[in-house]
Copies of this chain bind each other. A is one copy, B any other.
């Protein structure tokens, strides 16, 4: 009896320890089996095309229900999420399939200091404190970080 009890305790402790090593998945998509954070921090406009292509490839390969994709933009890469960016329609199509877009507040503040006001953003952009911190949070939630 007491042994069974001890074994349950041991099993519980084991699961607890294992549980600590298994990060929780925070995602809008409860059925996602793959989780990817795509980073854009380059100035080069061809990187904007490339990151949207990569997001599309992920949706096509896994299916929109089985992959969670978040694009995190910071530094010069924030231009992807400017209101007047030429990729608005592609961003909309990706948002419609569940892709999230995050904009770095630190970059916004820095750019605002230079141009006199923060740039206007795509309405789908969610603002996060710091792009790099958002990326680390997602990595801890088992997201793969890929910078196209």
Q: Which of B6, B139, B148 contacts A132 (CB 8 A)?
A: B148
Category for how many chain A residues contact B: 35 or more
Task: Flag if B4 contacts A7 (CB, 8 Å).
Answer: no
Chain B residues positioned under 8 Å from A18 (CB to CB): 17-18, 21
A26 in the interface (beta carbon within 8 A): no
A22 in the interface (beta carbon within 8 A): yes
Type the 1/0 row for A1-36, where 1 means its CB is closer than 8 Å to any CB of B: 001101100110111011001100000000000101
A41 in the interface (beta carbon within 8 A): yes
Nearest CB in chain B: distance from A106 CB, A: 5
Q: Could you pull out 21 A-B pairs where Cβ atoms are within 8 angstroms? A: A3-B7, A4-B6, A6-B7, A7-B10, A11-B13, A36-B132, A41-B148, A43-B46, A50-B75, A53-B75, A53-B106, A54-B74, A57-B132, A57-B133, A58-B130, A58-B132, A58-B133, A61-B130, A136-B146, A145-B145, A145-B146
- The CA-CA distance from A43 to B50 in the complex, in Å, is 11
A135 in the interface (beta carbon within 8 A): yes
A85 in the interface (beta carbon within 8 A): no
Nearest CB in chain B: distance from A94 CB, A: 14
Nearest CB in chain B: distance from A28 CB, A: 19
A65 in the interface (beta carbon within 8 A): no
A126 in the interface (beta carbon within 8 A): no
